[in-house]
Amino acid sequence: MTTSQLITCKINGVGVEAWVKNRSTVAQFLREQLGLTGTKVSCEIQVCGSCTVLVDGSPISSCSVFAYRLQGKSVTTIEGVAERGHLNDVQEAFVNNFAFQCGFCTSGFIMMTMSLLGSSERPTDEEISEHLDGNLCRCTGYEPILAAAKVAVRKRFGDE
């Protein structure tokens, strides 16, 4: 009978070894065990995206994936985005475009945008909105978030 697993993984580039309860989610591991509270928990049913983190570059709903699955994987959370406190292009775009209000969905949207930029092909406008359609925001009405994502895409891939 096991109740916990010993996992070794990378969190924002740093090696971590930890015991995680079988029932612990990635969100709980990050927030409660590691103190990385930038990832938020909201709907707990995979639709809002506020808990989005990247695992080996792919976006997951950290509220609904067990922490033991991180064995051998590399995780990027919102805390790992800025370089020594300097905002990256996505974060800058969100600030300059007022792409947040209460901020609770913001970490998730930034991580989703990062996962979009991870591919080598430039996403079309339609692909950008389809990708981000998987996250909810209750404050902004989405328009500035889409605008910020498009700015970030332009920065990464150049003007069309």
Find the binding residues for another protein in span 75-104 (CB under 8 A): 77-79, 81-82, 87, 91, 94-96, 98, 100-104
- List 142, 150, 155, 156, residue binding another protein (CB under 8 A): 142
Which whole-number Å values give the CA distances from 39 to 30, 80, 134, in the listed order? 8, 11, 16
Q: How far is the CB of 8 from another protein (least distance, A)?
A: 15
| Cβ proximity to another protein, 77 vs 158, nearer residue | 77
Beta bridge partners of 74: 10
Q: Does 29 bind another protein (CB under 8 A)?
A: no
Q: Does 113 bind another protein (CB under 8 A)?
A: no
Q: Does 6 bind another protein (CB under 8 A)?
A: no
Q: Does 153 bind another protein (CB under 8 A)?
A: no
Q: Does 12 bind another protein (CB under 8 A)?
A: no
Beta strands 52-55 and 74-76 are: antiparallel
Encode 14-26: b = buried (16+ Cβ within 10 Å), e = exposed: eeeebebbeebbb
Q: Residue 111: enclosing H or E segment and its boundaries?
A: helix 106-117
Q: Does 19 bind another protein (CB under 8 A)?
A: no
| Cβ proximity to another protein, 98 vs 157, nearer residue | 98
Q: In sequence order, what are the residues at sequence separation of 6 or more whose Cβ sits closer than 8 angstroms to the Cβ of residue 117?
A: 90, 152, 153, 156
